[in-house]
Chain A
Amino acid sequence: MLVRSLVSVVDDDESVRESLPDLLRELGFAVRAFASAEEFLASDCVCRTSCLVLDIAMPGMNGPELQRELTRRRQEIPIVFITAHRDETVRPRLLEQGAVECLFKPFTETALLDALNAALPAR
């Protein structure tokens, strides 16, 4: 059996945690969902995660902060940011800081897939 890449979804929005993992599973990924960055960091998925789908605005540690924390921990996990705040200046900054992609909700399945493929070149 093929080992699926683990995609961790970190978003404080419940509906995202409901809908997105299903789609990702359909797309062939193993998915773990976390309600906060702290939950993710506290989990055992940090090392195993192949790609992180990360909400930007979260109470507590937000997306960029998690990114920085992971960098500090030398966990080079490709990150795809998702956000509902459509702010054009945010995306370039995040990409500069090493994010693979930043998607604005609502995003299409195709956009998501493209981003994941970019994050995980080997499948």
Chain B
Amino acid sequence: MRLSTRLALSGAVSVAVVALIGAVLASTTRTVRRELARNEAAGEMLSAVTNVRYLTLEYALHHDERTLVQWHLTHASLSKQLVARPEFATGAEGEILARLRRTNAVVRSLFSQLVANRQARDTDGRRAAVREELEARLTGQIVIRLEGIIADAFTLSERSRTGVLTAQRRQGVAVGAFGGFVLLVLATTMIVALKSVLRPLARLRAGTAIVGAGDLDFRLDEASGDEIGDLAHAFNEMTEKLRGREAKIRRLVDSNIIGIVITDLEGEVLEANDAFLELVGYSRLDLQSGRVDWKRITPAEFEGADVRALQELRERGAYAPFEKEYFRKDGRRIPVMIGGALLEGPPRGGVAFVLDLTERRVAQETLARTQADLAHVARVTTLGALTASIAHEVNQPLSGIITNASTCLRMLAADPPNVDGARETARRTIRDGHRASDVITRLRGLFAREGVATESVDLNEAAREVIALSASELRSSRVIVRAELADDLPPVRGDCVQLQQVILNLFRNASDAMSGVDDRPRQLVISTAREEGDRVRLTVQDAGVGFEPESAEKLFDPFYTTKRGGMGIGLSVSRSIIESHHGRLWAARNDGPGATFAFTLPRAGERAASAHGSSAVRAPAAADAMHVVGSP
């Protein structure tokens, strides 16, 4: 039964009982009043009949007029009271009243006889003895009857008194019953409250504790069809929803897409999914035994980051993902990215995702290696190119030497020997020999600085050196060099040699591009400038034949290298060098004739001493080398 129904019912019952008791009280009050009225009436009768008796005796004593009159008055009053009274209408009392009336009438009659007798005695002396006896007898009988009346009136009074007492007792009983009823209601209410409300509520509270502790399979008994049952049902529904939500979260956690770990606010691991355990190489048993200790699996160098992260977690409710490493159970280090947020409690804690960065690290390392390889390759390519160039450079004089020497032998073997011719060939031979020697010397100088040296490079200086190096060649090619080098150009970090190679390559290409140009000055403009974002740009602009728009990227194809002869490195290698310096090399068509090649490099973080001294020393030799195999 529903509580509201029960309350309504008990309310109705209470009202009914109160009404009943009220009715009882009202009736008993009426009864009391009635009995009191009867009591009063009986009292009146008693006093009246007492008066009559008194007056009877007084008359018997004095038999005077006054007494007679008073007697009649009193008797009349008594008679009036004995006339049918509603107070004594029924039952035994009615009979008593009837008897009273009869007796009263008898008294009257007797008294009349008494009076008559007296008067007869006063007037008639005859039969004095009889009359005297008669008077005594009559008086006696009157007294007896009056006594009877008194007794009856007393009975009536007694009965009404008993009636009052009974009624009062009944009132007392009613009040007592009311009190008892109130107690009963109280007891019932307490029992009902206990059974139907307090206990179920206590069970509900216990249930919330159980569910709050994590047991989402717990269900309350909703059997009672009342409001508590409704509440239990709502509670169960809520628990069900919680379980559903928890299941969703659990699915996410258990899906093991990513490592998830639940910690307290100190970072201690409370729960972890399989993905995380796999990541750190611990078993679930280890976790449950508490062997997965946050601090133990974190290398010392990341402790600070952990502490900061926990701080941020406590203060802002989340911390930005950061990279760290864990010690796996087998001791290996594993790079991870970890980010987390606050988990509301109680108790409050955190949830963190842990992403294995091993592959990325591997990829990064591969990339770095590849870049190193590429740089190496670039270098090697450069070297290769250089080697080819060297071979080329050396082979040229060597070939001359051999040819001239062969010619010399032939000339001397002729008949007659061509001595002048032989002399000429010998001279050329010596010259070529010197040339070859020069090439070697030059090349040795060029290779004085091997390997990639990362240093602070002043591009302006490097450019000036290259300009100096290629000065005579460019002059012979009738190329006019204009340098617009920015003041206070920030240094860049990199390999000076390689960067000069690139600049040289760009010079050569520009020169080549203008080799067939006659109708306009063969102007080569080299400029440097600061760029936004802390970058430095070097630009080489020519007035040559330019290139087709669609060839813009093809220029940088490795294959393109073979088309250009001469020493130097190709645009492909140049680009890879620039890119390994974290820069960018590109080509652009001019508004007018010619092309512009430019590269940007990031500026160095600090100013370092320019290290171009030695290159300044070898510049002249290099410059010569540049022009040995000159095209055009």
Contacts and interface: CB of A to CB of B under 8 A. Distances in A.
Contacts of B512: 59
A72 interface: no
B441 to A, nearest CB: 18
Contacts of A57: 565
B51 interface: no
Contact of B399 (A16, A26, A62, A87): A16
Interface stretch (B42-50, B218-226, B390-398): B390-398
Nearest to B393: A84
If over half of A's interface residues share one DSSP class (helix, strand or loop), that class is named, otherwise mixed; here it is loop
A39 interface: no
Given A12-B631, A18-B428, A26-B414, A86 B391 contact: yes
Given A18-B400, A105-B399, A23 B406 contact: yes
B631 A84 contact: no
Given A23-B407, A85-B388, A59 B399 contact: no
Interface string B585-628: 00000000000000000000000000000000000000000000
Contact of A19 (B388, B395, B414, B428): B428
A95 B598 CA distance: 40
A109 B399 CA distance: 10
A56 B81 CA distance: 169
Given A22-B425, A85-B388, A85-B392, A105 B407 contact: no
A59 B403 contact: no
Contacts of B435: 15
A84 B406 contact: no
Contacts of A20: 403
B527 interface: no
A108 interface: yes
A26 B407 contact: yes
A18 to B, nearest CB: 6
A41 interface: no
Interface string B218-237: 00000000000000000000
Given A23-B410, A59-B631, A107 B402 contact: yes
Nearest to B563: A62
Contacts of B270: none
A86 to B, nearest CB: 6
A40 interface: no
Contacts of B404: 18-19, 22-23
A66 interface: no
A9 to B, nearest CB: 11
A114 interface: no
Given A26-B410, A58-B565, A106 B402 contact: yes
Contacts, number: 87
Given A59-B512, A85-B388, A15 B428 contact: yes
Count class of interface residues, chain A: 20 to 34
B395 A105 contact: yes
B141 interface: no
Interface string B401-441: 11110110011001000000100110010001001000000
A104 B406 contact: no
A85 B424 CA distance: 27
A22 B565 contact: no
Given A59-B631, A85-B388, A86-B391, A15 B396 contact: yes
Consensus secondary structure, chain B interface:
helix
Nearest to B432: A15
Contacts of B411: 22, 26
A105 B512 CA distance: 24
Contacts of A16: 396, 399-400, 403
Q: Which of B388, B402, B515 has the most CB of A within 10 A?
A: B402
Interface string A60-102: 1010000000000000000000101111000000000000000
Most buried by B among A12, A27, A62, A84: A84
Nearest to B413: A26
Nearest to A55: B565
B286 to A, nearest CB: 61
B632 A59 contact: yes
A29 to B, nearest CB: 12
A106 B565 contact: no
Contacts of A108: 402, 406
B414 A15 contact: no
A26 B407 CA distance: 7
Interface in B152-178: none
Nearest to B516: A60
B398 A105 contact: yes
Given A26-B407, A109-B406, A84 B400 contact: no
B401 A106 contact: yes
A59 B407 contact: no
Interface of B: 388, 391-392, 395-404, 406-407, 410-411, 414, 421, 424-425, 428, 432, 435, 512, 515-516, 565, 629, 631-632
25 contacts: A12-B632, A15-B397, A15-B400, A16-B399, A16-B403, A19-B399, A19-B407, A22-B404, A22-B421, A22-B424, A22-B425, A59-B512, A59-B565, A59-B631, A60-B516, A60-B632, A62-B565, A82-B399, A84-B399, A105-B398, A106-B395, A106-B399, A109-B402, A109-B403, A109-B406
5 closest A-B pairs (Cβ-Cβ)? A105-B399, A26-B410, A109-B406, A106-B399, A19-B403
Given A84-B395, A104-B395, 13 more contacts: A13-B396, A18-B404, A22-B407, A23-B404, A23-B407, A57-B565, A58-B565, A59-B512, A84-B399, A85-B388, A106-B402, A107-B399, A107-B402
